[in-house]
Amino acid sequence: MATKSVEKYSSLEIIKMSLRNNIRQYTMFIALIGIMLIFSLLSGVFFTPRNLSTLFLQTAHIAILASGVVLVIVAGHIDLSIGAVVGLTGAIAAILQAHYGLGVLPAIIITLAVGALIGLWQGYWVAYRDVPAFIVTLAGMMIFNGLLLGVTRGETIATSSMFNKLGQDYIPTLFFINSPKDMLPHDTTIIFLVFVIVAYLWYELKRRKERITYGFDILPIKLFALKIALVISLITAVFLIMALYLGIPYSIVILMVIGSLYTFITTKTTFGRHVYAIGGNKEAAKLSGINIRQRTLWIFISSGILGAIGGIIYTARVGSAAASAGQGMELDVIAAAIIGGTSTLGGQGTIVGAIIGALVMTTLNNGMLLLDVGTTERLIVRGLVLLLAVWIDISSRKRDA
Amino acid sequence: MSNYVLEMENIIKDFPGVRALNNVNFKVRKGEIHALVGENGAGKSTLMKVLSGVYPYGTYEGKILIDGKEQNFENIKDSEAAGIGIIYQELALVKEMNIAENIYLGSEFSTFGIINWDKAISKTTGLLNEVGLTENPYTKVVHLGIGKQQLVEIAKALSKNVNILIFDEPTAALNEDDSENLLHIIRKLKDQGISCIYISHKLKEVKEIADTITILRDGETIETYSNGENVTVDKIITGMVGRELTQLYPRKEHTAGEVVLEVKNWTVYNPEIPDKKIIDGVSFTAKKGEILGIAGLMGAGRTELMMSLFGAYGVKKLGEFYIDSEKADIKGPRDAIEKGFCYLSEDRKKNGLVLMMDIKENITLASLDKISNIRGINENEEIKITNHYVNALTIKTPSIEQKTKNLSGGNQQKVVISKWLMAAPKILILDEPTRGIDVGAKYEIYNIMNDLIDKGVSIIMISSELPEILGISDRILVMHEGKLTAELDWKEASQEKIMHFATGGR
């Protein structure tokens, strides 16, 4: 094979093929843009940097938790205890600081360790005792809700302003203070943006060079440029929205790190590949020498740790821990993952999809709130959207077969 | 009035991009056994789906006549009403229900939704009698062997008063005894005036049972002739593949090298019935550069023997085995694979492939460590290795990113074989490596096996097809009820001899 670009196909054909192969991801993305457009038309406030930044803030913990649950669902399990874990770990983080006088960092480290322990506990029952995850995490939900009530004694515990920054505040500016009114962009965010774009360009170019060395087909240069331009404008749009308000929130930085890490885990690591194989065909995975029990244990430990991160961010955003915190959150998280294309049967799902799914859910909520839609209708609409998303997914899969 | 119960005339069925059936003509007389043969993808299943209403009227061109009357089936119910029954390759019974419940599932005798079980049971007893089963109608299907389950399927079809019964690879999963019995039942049905359409890859069976044979190739009817003296298996094969196969098995002389696997007194207890030995004191050796064939009937314990050595079956195991004269302590498949001991499972869809993953992901699944480092899986290496196997084993696919569920059986099998080749086996166990794949792909798989032998791999092949065992192995072990009953050199082995030992002869 020579180092030629794909001349077998015209550019149009390549675009068509790519669309067809990734139709699921694109559909959800287009749906998200569509929903945003509709809200922009209906409400003048929706498409402002201020509202969109708030929307991102509201999405952060759901998207982080959804990244973790993707692994769980892909492996063919479920985690119903997410909400309870968020509540419990959030309360632990608050109590460690309020009652035991621990600093923010030690409190966070201990909370993460508790999350890992919770995951170890649930993973042990699922992986080594063969109890279905549905039951283990349903039991977990009750147990952790009980513990939450026990540690908070029903009181609301306020968290320190330092800690709350994680959920509410933005990364500081370097050179000059901006304010949303003067439309001056937030400098650190712009620096961050440039850094991300450079990293992305470096990655794409390196990949292309490697493919040439291997003698594989590469995209024609025009398409390659088009693809890069599209991705960069998307990244820029997202960053500009935040730069024009108060900058990037800490929670979004955490989401970016976790989103990238989990995308790496699911697409580039042996562990990730094994998770998809276990969910796709457990028996084949076992006979291929995959240690299913150990992998399952780690999936739940990951879910527990992300639960704790979600708990920390959520508590910081609310500014206090309460016995009712996190209730029902697992449903939002699971819905986000599934709207984002994670198959309920296991074996399929992406992190990016789950993050988009989380955005869809919060956008609907946020937009309808702006339009003064009541809680009743909001719940109904979101339920219907979940139903619709899964239906579209299933019917498109049938067309595939 | 024609003397055909079924006439399918000029059937054309298009799928996006492919014409699956092109002017197929297929006519069945009353009370005959009509075999339909052809390679995988020749259009047999598609034709039967057209006939049974799975593809409704209007989605195909051509005419279907039953007793001379044109039929427009909208669904399976319509075709059932016209007297067509179908016994699928994969049995469609509800395991946790009893025989009577299964037979009348969907057509219960009921008044206002309340089922008259007494009537169902008494009718069931009659039907079971017809198919030669003495089981109690209350027996749960899960407790029946696969052969008996098939008979229940037939009884179910009979309960619907069929005139035409379609068998799609009915003996694929059956042992010789059960197959023999099934053929007997089919002949009996024929005597009662039921026309049977018999789809099978097992040409010997076809030759034995069919009155008429129709060959399909690439969606076209090649020929239809009555089965007689002048019809030979070779002739059928020639029609199927369109080329003369001088020999069906590419036998090559191998010289066996040193012993790589030595099993001593291997005993495995049944995980479900703790005091039953499923493997009983088996000892054997496998040598470098030879194909060791393992013959036996279904339930002889061949798969269990290999899976237990591989670390994927059994809890209580006694005895020991040595790989390269070193005592093997294998706790699970991972340990086995690391020692170069690989097992290709008998059911590729259920145990071999992750169907929703693509070709490259399946091939690298057991050896991801070889292509990954701290920076993760090297995708370029993955593509390179996959391309290598796709070329070496001639896997036919538009792209290595094709999901394996979209491949034909033969190509799927080559993907699973590639997976194990990548793991660099010293000992490769192939459990029914050519089951359910067409003649051409079978031949290619035998060639791959011969190549591996040349490279010094030791191959252990489990097969239920005696000609295959005889045609390709260098040495043959025969098993019966968990015990090894014979070891034969291929030169001294014959079907009769193997069958003798496989049925417990001494």
Give the pLDDT confidence of A271-284 residue by residue, as tens digits: 999 999 999 999 99
Residue A21 has pLDDT above 90, yes or no: no
Percent of chain B with pLDDT over 70: 94
Give the model confidence (pLDDT) of A144-154 as tens digits.
999 999 999 98
Residue B89 has pLDDT above 70, yes or no: no
Please tell me the distance in Å from B401's CA to the nearest CA on chain A: 10
Could you say which of B310, B337, B380 has the minimum Cβ distance to residue A214? B380
Question: Residues with Cβ < 8 Å from B1, sequence gap 6 or more?
Answer: B68
Please tell me the distance in Å from B273's CA to the nearest CA on chain A: 20
- Which residue from A minimizes the CA distance to B333? A289
Q: Which of A216, A281, A287, A293 to mutate to test the interface with B (most CBs of B within 10 A)?
A: A287
Could you say which of A21, A284, A289 has the minimum Cβ distance to residue B354? A284
Cα distances (angstroms) measured from residue A190 to each of A51, A181, A193, A256: 19, 17, 5, 16
How many CB atoms lie under 10 A from the CB of residue A180?
14
Q: How many CB pairs under 8 A join A and B?
A: 84
Tell me what pLDDT residue A4 has.
38
- Which residue from A minimizes the CA distance to B348? A284
Higher pLDDT, A21 or B448: B448
At A350, which amino acid appears?
T
Q: Inspect the interface and report whether the beta carbons of A286 and B312 lie closer than 8 Å.
A: yes
Give the DSSP letter of residue B403: B
Average of per-residue pLDDT across B85-110: 85
How many CB atoms lie under 10 A from the CB of residue A230?
10
What pLDDT band is residue B245 in, cutting at 50, 70 and 90?
A: very low
What pLDDT band is residue A299 in, cutting at 50, 70 and 90?
A: very high
Q: Inspect the interface and report whether the beta carbons of B354 and A348 lie closer than 8 Å.
A: no
Q: Which residues of A touch B364 (CB under 8 A)?
A: 273
Q: Which two tokens stand for residue B290?
A: 């030879």
Give the model confidence (pLDDT) of B170-221 as tens digits.
876 676 788 888 999 999 999 999 999 998 867 778 888 999 999 998 788 9
Please tell me the distance in Å from A287's CA to the nearest CA on chain B: 6
Pairing of strands B372-373, B376-377: antiparallel
Tell me what pLDDT residue B298 has.
66
Give the DSSP letter of residue B42: S
**Rounded Cα distance, A76 and A73, in Å:** 5
How many CB atoms lie under 10 A from the CB of residue B76?
15
Give the model confidence (pLDDT) of A323-366 as tens digits.
889 988 999 999 999 999 898 888 999 999 999 999 999 999 99
Overall residue count recorded for chain B in this entry: 506
Phi and psi based region of residue A346 (left: phi greater than 0; alpha: psi -120 to 50; beta: remaining) = left
Q: Which two tokens stand for residue A16?
A: 């068509």
- Which residue from A minimizes the CA distance to B339? A289
Give the model confidence (pLDDT) of B355-388 as tens digits.
989 999 999 999 999 999 888 999 999 999 999 9
Cα-based angle B184, B190, B195 (whole degrees, multiple of 5):
130
**Rounded Cα distance, B51 and B43, in Å:** 12
Tell me what pLDDT residue B249 has.
84
**Rounded Cα distance, A123 and A115, in Å:** 12
Q: Which two tokens stand for residue A227?
A: 């693809």
Q: B3, B354, B204: which is closest to A287 by C-alpha?
A: B354
Mean pLDDT over all residues of chain B?
Answer: 88
Q: Which residues of B touch A280 (CB under 8 A)?
A: 354-357
Q: Which residues of B touch A285 (CB under 8 A)?
A: 354, 365
Higher pLDDT, A13 or A396: A13
Residues of B with CB under 8 A from a CB of A: 310, 312, 332-334, 336-338, 343, 345, 350-357, 361, 364-366, 368-369, 372, 375-377, 379-380, 383-384, 401, 405, 419
Q: A329, A298, A297: which is closest to A313 by C-alpha?
A: A329
Tell me what pLDDT residue B41 has.
62
Q: Which residues of B touch A74 (CB under 8 A)?
A: none
Could you say which of B310, B368, B419 has the minimum Cβ distance to residue A273? B368
**Rounded Cα distance, B73 and B80, in Å:** 10
- Which residue from B minimizes the CA distance to A290? B334
- Which residue from A minimizes the CA distance to B383? A216
Residue A160 has pLDDT above 60, yes or no: yes
Please tell me the distance in Å from A245's CA to the nearest CA on chain B: 36
Give the DSSP letter of residue B104: T
Overall residue count recorded for chain A in this entry: 401
Could you say which of B351, B355, B372 has the minimum Cβ distance to residue A287? B351
**Rounded Cα distance, B453 and B291, in Å:** 7
CB-count exposure of residue A276 (10 Å: 0-12, 13-18, 19+):
buried
The full set of domain ranges for chain A reads: 11-169+249-400
What would you report as the CA-atom Rg of chain B, rounded to the nearest whole angstrom?
A: 24
**Rounded Cα distance, B366 and B360, in Å:** 11
Sign of CA dihedral B324, B326, B330, B334: negative
pTM, 2 dp: 0.78
Q: Inspect the interface and report whether the beta carbons of A287 and B343 lie closer than 8 Å.
A: yes
Could you say which of A277, A283, A289 has the minimum Cβ distance to residue B350? A283
Cα distances (angstroms) measured from residue A321 to each of A125, A141, A159: 29, 17, 7
Cα distances (angstroms) measured from residue B60 to each of B28, B126, B165: 20, 39, 22
Percent of chain A with pLDDT over 90: 65
Residue A19 has pLDDT above 80, yes or no: no
Residue B238 has pLDDT above 80, yes or no: no
Q: A259, A251, A335, A319: which is closest to A90 by C-alpha?
A: A319
Tell me what pLDDT residue A9 has.
67
Choose from A378-387, A389-398, B83-92, B454-463 the range with maximum mean pLDDT: B454-463
Average of per-residue pLDDT across B127-141: 90
Cα distances (angstroms) measured from residue B352 to each of A97, B346, B431: 53, 8, 11
- Ranking A207-211, A236-240, B100-104, B406-410 by mean pLDDT, the lowest is B406-410
Please tell me the distance in Å from A210's CA to the nearest CA on chain B: 8
Average of per-residue pLDDT across B98-123: 88
Tell me what pLDDT residue B382 has.
94
Strand, coil or helix: A247:
coil
Strand, coil or helix: B267:
strand
Please tell me the distance in Å from B300's CA to the nearest CA on chain A: 21
Give the model confidence (pLDDT) of B310-326 as tens digits.
999 988 899 999 999 99
Please tell me the distance in Å from A64's CA to the nearest CA on chain B: 22
**Rounded Cα distance, B208 and B191, in Å:** 16
Q: Which residues of A touch B337 (CB under 8 A)?
A: 288-289
Task: Match 């937030």 to its residue by tokens.
Answer: A186
Higher pLDDT, B90 or A110: A110
Strand, coil or helix: B260:
strand
Q: Inspect the interface and report whether the beta carbons of B383 and A216 lie closer than 8 Å.
A: yes
Pairing of strands B341-344, B326-327: unpaired
Adjacent-strand bridge partners of A157: A321
What pLDDT band is residue A5 in, cutting at 50, 70 and 90?
A: very low
What pLDDT band is residue B241 in, cutting at 50, 70 and 90?
A: low
Average of per-residue pLDDT across A40-67: 92
Q: Inspect the interface and report whether the beta carbons of B354 and A291 lie closer than 8 Å.
A: no
Answer CATH for A11-169+249-400 from 1.10.3470, 1.10.10, 3.40.50, 2.60.40: 1.10.3470
Give the model confidence (pLDDT) of B429-448 as tens digits.
999 998 878 778 888 999 99
Residue A6 has pLDDT above 60, yes or no: no
Residue B426 has pLDDT above 60, yes or no: yes
Please tell me the distance in Å from B236's CA to the nearest CA on chain A: 32
Task: Match 């196909």 to its residue by tokens.
Answer: A9
Q: Inspect the interface and report whether the beta carbons of A281 and B350 lie closer than 8 Å.
A: yes
Q: Which residues of A touch B338 (CB under 8 A)?
A: 289
Pairing of strands B212-217, B33-37: parallel
CB-count exposure of residue A13 (10 Å: 0-12, 13-18, 19+):
exposed
Strand, coil or helix: A237:
helix
- Which residue from A minimizes the CA distance to B313? A287
Tell me what pLDDT residue A215 has.
83
Residue B339 has pLDDT above 80, yes or no: yes
Please tell me the distance in Å from A189's CA to the nearest CA on chain B: 28
Residue B487 has pLDDT above 60, yes or no: yes
At A323, which amino acid appears?
A
Q: Inspect the interface and report whether the beta carbons of B351 and A211 lie closer than 8 Å.
A: no
Average of per-residue pLDDT across A241-270: 93
Q: Inspect the interface and report whether the beta carbons of A285 and B365 lie closer than 8 Å.
A: yes
Q: Inspect the interface and report whether the beta carbons of B333 and A286 lie closer than 8 Å.
A: yes
Percent of chain A with pLDDT over 70: 95
DSSP letter string, B468-496: HHHHH-SEEEEEETTEEEEEEETTT--HH
**Rounded Cα distance, B163 and B189, in Å:** 10
Choose from A11-15, A148-152, B232-236, B253-257 the range with maximum mean pLDDT: A148-152
Percent of chain B with pLDDT over 90: 51
Contact A296, A75 (CB under 8 A): yes
Give the DSSP letter of residue B140: B
Cα distances (angstroms) measured from residue B433 to each of A7, A342, A392, B422, B448: 38, 34, 38, 17, 11
**Rounded Cα distance, B95 and A278, in Å:** 25
What pLDDT band is residue B125 in, cutting at 50, 70 and 90?
A: very high
Q: Inspect the interface and report whether the beta carbons of B419 and A291 lie closer than 8 Å.
A: no
Q: Which residues of A touch B310 (CB under 8 A)?
A: 287
Contact A359, A368 (CB under 8 A): no
Q: Inspect the interface and report whether the beta carbons of A284 and B369 lie closer than 8 Å.
A: no
Residue B505 has pLDDT above 70, yes or no: no
Q: B220, B249, B253, B255: which is closest to B233 by C-alpha?
A: B249
